[in-house]
Chains A and B, each alone.
Chain A
Amino acid sequence: MDAASLSGGFADTAREAARAFRASLDAMARPGTLHTVTGALPPAPLSPAAGALILTLADTTTGVHLAPSHDVAALRDWITFHTGAPLVGPEAAVFAVGTWASLQPLDRFPIGRADYPDRSATLIVEMPALAASGVRLTGPGIKETAQLSLPETEAFLQNAQRFPLGLDFFFTAGDQLAALPRTTKVEPN
């Protein structure tokens, strides 16, 4: 393990994790809104926003899957040191991190069970950039419509059709994040 893996965590865990969680809760409750999270400085290629999500939500009880784009030794060590989360395959993932292309195919991730739809994976999709424009969003958390720069629409259409089963998504770029729960209906603008 490289000594660099030991740094880059929250300096003030309780407060910084609280702020990062509030940002992620706001994002999930109001799909299409962008939020800034700071405090985490993970090794490349993980973005600070995705790093903050991992530090805030992952621990020894949650399997984290690193997609090929993010499966590098420095990041493995960083997640292991800071969270203790086991690194797992997609079938056992509670959280999965990677670029949109490298997370494919999505049908490998658990979408929950009919009696426990909450036992589904949350995907953290690393994006080159995020903007509140692009695909049209409707559903819970959205007053009329919202927009978000999603990597595609078809996958999210299919995901929403399986409700109450399905995957939930965070999108991260730099220190920004947005979210898309399974309830959101997407349509090309």
Chain B
Amino acid sequence: MTETHKIIDIVRILFAVLGAFVVLFLFLNHAEQIDTPLFDYFTSDFIAETGAQNSVAAIYLNYRVFDTLFEALMLMVSVMEVINVSWANKHAEQYRYEEDELNRKNNSEIVIRMVGIIYPFVILIGLYVIINGHVSPGGGFQGGAILATALITRYLVYPNFDLDLHVLEKIEKLLFLSIVTTPVLYVFMQLQPANTDLSNQIYMILMNSLIGLKVFSGLSIIFYRFVFYEGR
């Protein structure tokens, strides 16, 4: 029994050393010069082609919008899976938070005050990141995550279950539908009113806000489901 353990240990160490050598070789080996056709294609003329000043936004909302659709689908499937798993727990409903009274004795006064001051600014920066996603770093996913963080800090201060998760779920599915529809109509079928910078920018802002709202609702569903339906 101990011998097999030794052999497995030796194999593990060998694998680790081999992997380290491969990584170091690839990292330090500058002999090979590779052309950058994709880099040139994506960065040469993206402002005129897509209307975005941020090349990352140009890639994920125009050149490679197909990937974005599947990312959105992945988030929605994981949200559905979280809901499904917490439904499998038969006693989940009884753990719901039912006290109406604010339970403040466990929470620190400093945290409550500071979160109260910071809260509107966090929401503002989330909206800013979403709407300026095609100009500055950021975008729908990042802004949605910041908005979800704001909602979660609200849980720290005010642990109350007054959100209607079913409505939020329905909103998320509708948003996914519109996230699929918008690029299919605008980019794939080229049903654009006019191929100008303005229409491209409107498309970018619309897509970023749709993605941001969807990520926001998805992450908050996961968090609230987890907090109020799982465990105690």
The answer to whether A and B belong to the same complex is: no
Q: Which residues of B are in contact with A by a Cβ distance under 8 Å?
A: none
